Copies of this chain bind each other. A is one copy, B any other.
Amino acid sequence: MSGQPSCLVQNLSHYIDLTDHDRELLATLERSPRDYSEATEIHSGGDRNRDLYVVKQGWLFSYTDLPDGRRQIVKIHHPGDVIGFPDIAMKHMTTNLRSVEPVTLCPFPKSALETIFTSSPRLSALMLSIALRDQVVFIDLLRVMGRMSAMERVSHFVLDLLARLRITNKDMTDTFRLPLNQSQIADYLGLTNVYISKTFKRLQDDGMLSRDGQQITLTREEELKELVDFEDRYIEMDTSWFPGG
């Protein structure tokens, strides 16, 4: 193995201890990393379904458009994330993938999953768990979109981002960089860019958060969590039932 650690190994190590066998397996699956510049369309819905990606660097998002141009961003991807899991069940990609800033991705073929599933029960269980955990996260988001006001949606949004960033960065404080513009946030939360602006201002006036360029600080995180009944699904994941290494 090279001196540079595999993206996938780095990511999955956050959840369980990987055996040497697992590490080697993952290393062989991974293709060489590839860079994309900012605001680049990496794949489109309807494309024949080939690769999954692990994010090595930078933020991206998956989205779908309606025929009349309305857009829904369905997932924001950070370093360490696996992109494309749900599409495994489909013949074609169901979403478009776009970089927010310059990114580095490690593609690996669908077939790699087969290898994992046949040769490492422990890794299989982890992959499945991550997919199911994501489903719970979608369900939480559905609740947000279905029943929460703009104020609550934005609050949930920043709390969720922070919780996710804390998976890979243990000593993350209450401040983080948010490289999305307000139109993108609007497309994620089902609102308009104008209303995102107004809502952020209100949250700031209420002293819940402060902004400085792309930096966001949650000054009253606990209060925000209570406001939106926030549950951290990233911490809560159950790996206790996994087969041994």
Binding site for B on A (CB under 8 A): 49, 64, 66-67, 70-72, 74-75, 85-92, 94-95, 110-111, 114, 117-118, 121, 124-125, 128-136, 138-143, 145-148, 188-190, 229, 231, 233, 236-238, 240-241, 243
Contacts and interface: CB of A to CB of B under 8 A. Distances in A.
Contact of A238 (B91, B129, B145, B190): B91
Given A72-B142, A86-B133, 5 more contacts: A85-B135, A89-B136, A92-B236, A145-B146, A146-B190
One complex includes copies of this chain to the number of 2
A237 B89 contact: yes
A145 B190 CA distance: 8
A60 B99 CA distance: 40
Given A131-B132, A141-B142, A142-B138, A147 B72 contact: yes
A190 to B, nearest CB: 3
B70 A147 contact: yes
A86 B71 CA distance: 27
Contact of A143 (B74, B121, B131): B74
Point out which of A85, A90, A236, A240 has the most chain B C-beta atoms below 10 A from its C-beta. A90
Contacts of A72: 142-143, 146-147
B94 A139 contact: yes
Nearest to A128: B128
A129 B89 contact: yes
25 contacts: A64-B143, A72-B142, A72-B143, A72-B146, A72-B147, A75-B139, A86-B132, A86-B133, A88-B132, A88-B238, A89-B133, A89-B136, A89-B237, A92-B236, A94-B233, A114-B241, A117-B121, A117-B124, A118-B121, A131-B131, A131-B132, A134-B135, A142-B145, A145-B146, A146-B189
